[in-house]
Amino acid sequence: MSAIKKYFKEETQWAMFGLEYPKPTDFYLSVWQGTRSSVPLLILRTLLFLTAVAIVLTSMILYYLNNYLQFWFIYLTHWGLMTIVLATGFSVAVSARVYFYGPISAEFCLPWYVKSYWVLYNIANPIAYLITIFYWTVLYEAGVEEEFNPTLDVAVHGLNTAIMLLLLLSCSHQTRLLHIHHPLLLGLGWIIFSVIYYFAGGTDTKGNRYVYPVINWSNPGPTMLVVILTALGLLVLHAVTIGLSLTRDALAPYCKPSVISHVEEGTPLRQTQTQTTYSQR
């Protein structure tokens, strides 16, 4: 009980609302590895990024071939996919930066690209889980088909969650309680878009005056109820993300070898020719 009280006392401090972090290594070293190499996460993150890009491109190509490309951008599912592409893309950039130039310093503050990755990670995780749950429990039963291929439908509404789970379980940095506003802002942005889209006369691919049948602004009462329940769902899923992170951190010390360091903390793993020449002088 005291541990829970301590956790909430620390996590509800105003400083936790921001994007500063005491251990930059947590953003490019896996909690499971026993070395200080950025290579393991660089490889995994690259695979996740390429998978996410492949899903997005396949979906967009099929929409284009069916002359519906302009509708691709109206769905929250696809907004979520783009955040996954950006989150995994920035994660690759962080790991690659360390691989080529050495560990990241936070002497003054975290670099912008690390903060960008962290925000996108905070958004993409609960949004991915929400999309998967919402689609298979509500939209699928209502006969909504967002994709033109059944296999792609599973990838878009299932593999998205698998990608973010792997990203979460393999990293080391925390998911902060007060960062709940990150996914909520994306959700709010899409709701505002859906309202504007409705009043501008926008339709779905079948000509209906809504994006999703359960979010139909011609029936504002039931729609607002769905919006509120979805927002509450995001709160719960953000808490689930925190729980998964804490569980990962609790199990990792029992499942990994001691940290082994073969290079100095400030030495890049891959040196350029200029750096090699300089080090030999």
Domain count, the chain: 1
Structure tokens at 48: 């996740």
Residue 270 maps to a domain: no
| CB contact set of 12 (below 8 Å; sequence gap of 6+) | 177, 178
Under DSSP, the state recorded for 181 is H
Coil, helix or strand at residue 218: coil
For residue 65, give its domain range: 20-264
- Cα 118 from Cα 85, distance rounded (Å): 13
Please tell me the number of Cα atoms within 13 Å of 178 on its side-chain side: 14
Average pLDDT over residues 196-201: 96
Query: pLDDT tens across 253-281, in order?
Result: 888 665 544 444 445 555 544 444 434 44
- What's the Cα-to-Cα distance from 237 to each of 180, 213, 244, rounded to whole Å? 10, 23, 10
Residue 206 maps to a domain: yes
212 pLDDT above the threshold of 60: yes
Query: What pLDDT does 66 receive?
Result: 94
Count other C-beta atoms under 10 Å from residue 75's C-beta: 21
Residue 116 maps to a domain: yes
Residue 89 maps to a domain: yes
Residue 4 maps to a domain: no
Per-residue pLDDT band at 118 (split at 50, 70, 90): very high
| CB contact set of 228 (below 8 Å; sequence gap of 6+) | none
5 pLDDT above the threshold of 50: yes
Coil, helix or strand at residue 215: strand
Query: pLDDT tens across 141-159, in order?
Result: 767 778 888 899 999 999 9
Contact indicator for 48, 166 with CB cutoff of 8 Å: yes
Query: pLDDT tens across 69-109, in order?
Result: 999 999 999 999 999 999 999 999 999 999 999 988 767 78
Query: What pLDDT does 257 receive?
Result: 62
φ, ψ dihedrals at 263, nearest 5°: -130, 160
Contact indicator for 74, 203 with CB cutoff of 8 Å: no
Query: What pLDDT does 264 receive?
Result: 44
Residue 3 maps to a domain: no
Residue 276 maps to a domain: no
Query: What pLDDT does 258 receive?
Result: 56
Handedness of CA 25, 26, 28, 31 (dihedral sign): positive
For a pLDDT cut of 70, what percent of the chain falls above it?
Answer: 89
Residue 1 maps to a domain: no
**pTM for this entry:** 0.89
Under DSSP, the state recorded for 159 is I
Query: What pLDDT does 84 receive?
Result: 98
Structure tokens at 23: 């251990």
Structure tokens at 47: 């695979």
Query: What pLDDT does 83 receive?
Result: 98
Query: What pLDDT does 1 receive?
Result: 63
Mean of the per-residue pLDDT values of the chain: 89
